[in-house]
Amino acid sequence: MTVHCRRAAASDAPAIVALHRAAFSTDIEADLVASLIVDQAAPLESWVAEIDGAVVGHVLLTPGDVPGDRAITVLILCPLAVLPSHQNAGVGSALTRAALASATDAGARAVSVFGDPDYYTRFGFRSLLPAGPMPPYDVAPQHQPAWQTLLLSDDAATRDALEGVRIQWQEPLMVPALWEA
């Protein structure tokens, strides 16, 4: 089984939304994806994973605005979904690596994620709380480790720009229900 990752095409949208509906127990993530890719709120990158020509995984990278510093590009990796029949087979890891390589190539300074620390630390993500960047909404203390950031450019300018700030993500991502674990 070979996983092939590529940038998503507009024609992939129906399969992507259906994949998110199958991968999660609610429609929150599928509705978010529909808002970002179908309604064109313009994610920076939309990636799919294919096996034998079938879309089995998907991830988005969406830019956010850093208050006070428009020169710093910060992305959020959200959501990442893999069909249940293909989970635990390296599909999510392949998508995450492809998305992070793309973010690096695009000159992004940091990527944030709200997800399982046991999963995302393998890619270099770590919680930077309470220093920042901060999640868009306060999260319960027991869920704060899920808010993680990977500094692609670990320099003083990036750290200073992100310290203690709340990134302003695109409107579909600014829904409080997304930030409840």
Q: Which residue has the tokens 């089995």?
A: 56
Residues 170, 44 contacting (CB under 8 angstroms): no
Task: Please report whether residue 79 resides in a domain.
Answer: yes
In the chain, the N- to C-terminal Cα span, in Å, equals 32
Q: How many CB atoms lie within 10 A of CB 115?
A: 18
pLDDT in tens, 113-138: 999 999 999 999 999 888 888 888 88
Q: What is the largest CA-CA distance in the chain?
A: 46
Residues spanned by the domain of 63: 4-169
- What's this model's pTM, rounded to 2 decimal places? 0.92
- Residue 175 is assigned to a structural domain of this protein: no
- Domain assignment present for 181: no
Question: Could you give the CA distance from residue 132 to residue 159 in angstroms, rounded to a whole number?
Answer: 9
Residue spans of alpha helices (H) in the chain: 13-23, 28-33, 91-105, 117-120, 156-162
Q: What are phi and psi of 53, to 5 degrees?
A: 80, -5
User: For the chain, how many structural domains are there in total?
Assistant: 1
120 lies in some domain: yes
Query: Average pLDDT of the chain?
Result: 90
Domain containing 89 — which CATH number? Answer: 3.40.630.30
Domain annotation covers residue 174: no
Residue type, 155: D
Instruction: Give a yes or no: residue 145 inside a domain.
Output: yes
Task: Considering only residues 38 and 93, tell me which one the structure prediction assigns the higher pLDDT.
Answer: 93
Average pLDDT over residues 38-43: 60
Specify if 179 maps to a domain: no
- Residue 107 belongs to some domain of the structure: yes
